[in-house]
Structures are given as structure tokens and as C-alpha cells.
Amino acid sequence: MRIDVLTLFPDMFQGPLSESIIKRARDKQIVDIHFHNIRDYSTDKHNRVDDYPFGGGAGMVMQIEPIATLIDKLKSERPYDHIIYMTPDGERLAQRRVNTLSLAGNLMILCGHYKGVDHRIREHYITCEISIGDYVLTGGELAAAVLIDSVVRLIPGVLSDETSALTDSFQDNLLSPPVYTRPAEYNGWRVPDILLSGHQANIDKWREEQAHERTLKLRPDLLGKSERS
Ligand code: ADE
């Protein structure tokens, strides 16, 4: 998979996408992530990329020309499965969308800043608008990093034990059962006996029951959803 990120702040991605599992996926060239600084495409002699909103009001709006020039350039180089805009008024991100995006070959992700981008970009280029939750960040960069992390970990070969993604919380609209490791007792707090029993069928049954119980208690809204919703 190739991911092109369009941003005014490429350095914001250096930490989150350069460590651990995502770093390894990039090193193994399972995913190729490119960052493009929108400011490099400014047509203004002062390198401006934003301007006051028509009609007045607070905040600045990212101008159409630099973004359109950059998107047109990238689109002339390869086809994109999705051109995504990170925005708090987009579709709220959930595992189902992450699953479908993980099947893509080429993704483009546009990060907004200030009051967002000129709406004509959204009307004429964007195919998918995504929010990571009902709260407002200073820009789309952290949201894009969350999206990229969630998508890349599902690409085959990224997780060392591929089945571990299948048992993630949310894959069946269920939360995961609790997990424990050694020591079996700490401070008088014991791991559930069943996990030490060696009886795999009983352990699997217990985990399934725990997943249902935890979902019922913590996220009953998930139980009303069909597995595909
Ligand atoms: N940009 C600012 N806030 C955001 C959010 N919650 N999700 C996606 N992009 C954003």
C-alpha cells in the first residue's frame, strides 16, 4: 500500500508513524508513506496557503490552489482508491471502515488546519470524509496518524501473528476478553483458574462469555449491531 499525506505540518507525523509496528511495516516496504507539504505548492510570493473567509467570520481558510495543484499532480502519477479528508464533521471512524480501507492500493489523506479547507476541494476532489470522534483537534494531522495506524496494522504481514487482528475488540462488534500473563499471582490477586487449566475448549468458551459480558456492561450499543454494520 502507498499512502500520500497532504499537510502543512509533516513533522507532526515523525513520532507516531516512526516507531514499533508501523516503523517495521515501513522498513519492510509493506507500506510506503509519503508526506507532502502543501506550502511547497503555494503560488503566492510569501508562500501563503490560507486567507480570510468570504462573508467574514473568525479564523482562516486553507486556499484551493496549492491543494488542488498537489492533488492533480499526485492523481496524474497513479490512481487513488480513496481521497480522504480528515474533519470533525466527517463519518465517525469505526473498525468496519478501517477494514475496507486496509484493502486499498493507494490512499491520499488531506489534513485540514485552521477553519479547514475551501469547500470546493471537498466537493470536487474528496471521496471520503473521516472524523476520529466528536471533538475538535487543532488540525487533521493527529487524526490522520490514528487512521494510518489503524489501517496499516491490518495489512497482511504487518502483525507478526496475523490472527491477532481477528481477535481485536470491535471485529465482531464485541470487546476483547481480559488478558493476563505471568506471574499467576501478584499481591494476592490471582489470574482466573480456567486460564491455567490447560483445557483449551473451556478457555475458548470462557473468553467468548467474557467478551459478551464486557460488551453488555461497557458497550451495550455494539450488541444491537449486525456483524457487518
Ligand atoms: N480535525 C480536527 N478535529 C478532527 C477530528 N475529530 N477528526 C478528524 N479530523 C479532525
Q: What is the pLDDT of residues 156-209, one digit of tens each?
A: 999 987 667 877 888 889 999 999 999 999 999 999 999 999 999 999 999 999
How many angstroms does the Cα of residue 160 sit away from the middle of ligand 1?
Answer: 31
Express as a percent the part of the chain with pLDDT over 70.
97
C-alpha cell read off for 17:
508513524
Rounded to 5 degrees, φ, ψ at 85 are -115, 125
Which pLDDT band holds residue 7 (cuts at 50, 70, 90)? very high
Q: Residue 169 has what pLDDT?
A: 84
Per-residue model confidence (pLDDT) at position 224: 83
pLDDT of residue 225: 76
Fill in the DSSP letter of residue 180: -
- pLDDT score of 228: 46
pLDDT tens string 98-141: 999 999 999 999 999 889 999 999 999 999 999 999 999 999 99
Instruction: Quote the strand ranges of 135-194, DSSP E.
Output: 185-186, 189-190
Q: In the Cβ-directed half-sphere of 151, how many Cα atoms lie within 13 Å?
A: 27
User: What is the Cα–Cα distance from 84 to 180, expressed in whole angstroms?
Assistant: 38
> Please, which residues have CB within 8 angstroms of residue 229's CB and are 6 or more apart in sequence?
96, 173
Q: How many Cβ atoms from other residues are within 10 Å of residue 135's Cβ? A: 7
Residue position matching grid coordinates 482508491: 81
The architecture in CATH of the region 2-152 reads: 3-Layer(aba) Sandwich (3.40)
Number of neighbours of residue 33 by Cβ within 10 angstroms: 19
pTM for this structure? 0.94
ipTM above 0.90, yes or no: yes
Which residue type does 49 have?
Answer: V
Confidence at residue 229, expressed as pLDDT on a 0 to 100 scale: 43
Query: 124: part of which helix (H) or strand (E)?
Result: helix 119-124
Q: At what angle do helices 141-152 and 20-27 cross, to 10 degrees?
A: 70
End-to-end Cα distance, the chain: 25
- Which residues make up the CATH 1.10.1270.20 domain(s) of the chain? 167-223
Q: Is the pLDDT of residue 2 over 80?
A: yes
Q: What is the pLDDT of residues 17-55, one digit of tens each?
A: 999 999 999 999 999 999 999 999 998 899 999 999 999
| Model pLDDT, residue 163 | 64
- Ligand 1 pocket by C-beta < 6 Å: which residues? 86-88, 131-133, 135-137, 139-140, 143
152, exposed or middle or buried, with CB in 10 Å at 0-12, 13-18, 19+? buried
What are the phi and psi torsion angles at 81 (to 5°)?
-70, -40
Domain 167-223: assigned CATH number: 1.10.1270.20
pLDDT at 167: 79
CA nearest ligand 1 atom 5, residue = 88
Pocket test for ligand 1, best of 87, 111, 130 (most atoms within 8 A of CB): 87
Q: How far is the CA of 167 from the centre of ligand 1 (A)?
A: 28
pLDDT at residue 226, as a whole number: 58
**Which of 58-62, 85-89, 157-161 has the weakest average pLDDT?**
157-161
* 153 DSSP 8-state letter: T
CATH 3.40.1280.10 intervals, the chain: 2-152
The pLDDT, as a whole number, for residue 161 is: 75
**Under 8 Å CB-to-CB from 108, ≥6 apart: which residues?**
3, 4, 6, 71, 74, 80, 82, 83, 84
